[in-house]
Amino acid sequence: MTRTAPAGPAASISGRFPRLVLAGRDLTAQAAFVTLIVALVAVAALTSDTFLTQTNLTNLLKQMVTTGLLAYGMLVVILTGGIDLSVGSVVAFSGIITAGLVSDLPIPMATVVGIACGIGFGLVNGVLVARFGLAPFVVTLAALTTVRGLAFVYSEVPITPEDPAFLTLGSAMLGPVPLSTVIMLAVFLAGGLFLTRFPAGRSIVAIGGNAEAVRLAGINVRKHVILAYTISGACAGLAGVILASRVGIAQPSVGVAFELDAIAACVIGGASLAGGRGSAKATFGGVLVLVLINNLLNLYGVQSFWQQVLKGLIIIAVILVQRANQART
């Protein structure tokens, strides 16, 4: 049976790419993703003498933790058709609160308080979006400035934790792998199971596809949207605590544009900003691609503003490829 090619520019683009079908599944996108990662690693290894050194690989694993945690939280929100622009500010607030409390509270309790702050901000965002029907972009943009201001209210200057044991979370190693990386991987593993095996996770995915259909099926849409933003806040809070522990200092100005890296990782991983499509596994792949690109550009000595330009171009290219793939399928 002959398929009629879809009309339009996307169709003409899609027709140029061969398809990889295995056991009835179209694995073209996954194959392209793996090829991209392998190509990046190969280029980095061949063009830089320091890429494969233990120091650089360890730093790479540590650096991907913040982006990874924020990307998973962002994915959950994007799946509902929303967005969370406040995560960078939450990272700053949670980190500086935790660093400030370390001298007065036991480290585990201070850490819990920092993560709880992230959960609280996420909960407020979710209530404003779900209960009061405000636009996610507007709510989280307001939260971005509000939370950042609160971080500066708490301390206008960087805070160095007085207890050196606080640094363990960000610097400890489990064999060759940093403890913080293991925590991030655990979040992605548990988060992937949550989105695919648990009713609440599947409902979050379904809301982005058709919220009205989900409501008619008897599922509380508001509750699950609030849950999504709360998860994003929790991930941002955890990221803030780990980042402060890793660098040994907490600053109220840290985290600017972190939300853009999180969104970029989700988009590179194939998540749709319209909601309803995306996975934890693919988002982790997006994080890996983004971190590899950042590391490679740093090794080449490329200035940070050119890195931002490249990230923007990558996002546009990925969206064009996604559009072409949708038209083809």
Over the stretch 11-25, which tens digit does the pLDDT of each residue have? 333 445 566 666 556
Tokens matching residue 255: 């985290």
Question: Would you state the pLDDT for residue 35?
Answer: 84
Average pLDDT over residues 233-256: 96
Residue 11: per-residue pLDDT: 39
pLDDT digit string, tens, across residues 114-125: 999 999 999 999
Query: Would you say the C-alpha torsion 141, 144, 147, 153 has a positive or negative sign?
Result: negative
Task: Give the per-residue pLDDT at 163.
Answer: 87
Quote the tokens at residue 66: 């913040």
User: If pLDDT is split at 50, 70 and 90, which confidence band does 217 have?
Assistant: very high
**146-153 own/partner pairs: CB under 8 Å, 24+ apart:** 146/89, 147/86, 147/89, 147/90, 147/92, 147/93, 147/121, 148/89, 148/92, 148/93, 148/252, 150/93, 151/89, 151/92, 151/93, 151/96, 151/252, 152/252
Query: For residue 158, is pLDDT > 80?
Result: yes
Average pLDDT over residues 235-247: 97
Q: Are 95 and 241 in contact (CB under 8 A)?
A: yes
Instruction: State residue 21's pLDDT score.
Output: 63
Beta strands in 173-284 (DSSP E): 173-174, 177-178
Residue 27 banded pLDDT, cuts 50, 70, 90: low
Three-state SS for 26?
A: strand
The 10s digit of each residue's pLDDT in 195-216 is: 999 999 999 999 999 999 999 9
Mean pLDDT is lowest, of 175-179, 203-207, 296-300, for 296-300
Could you tell me the pLDDT band of residue 10, with boundaries at 50, 70 and 90? very low
pLDDT of residue 8: 41
pLDDT above 90 (res 283): yes
> With pLDDT > 90 as the criterion, what percentage of the chain qualifies?
65
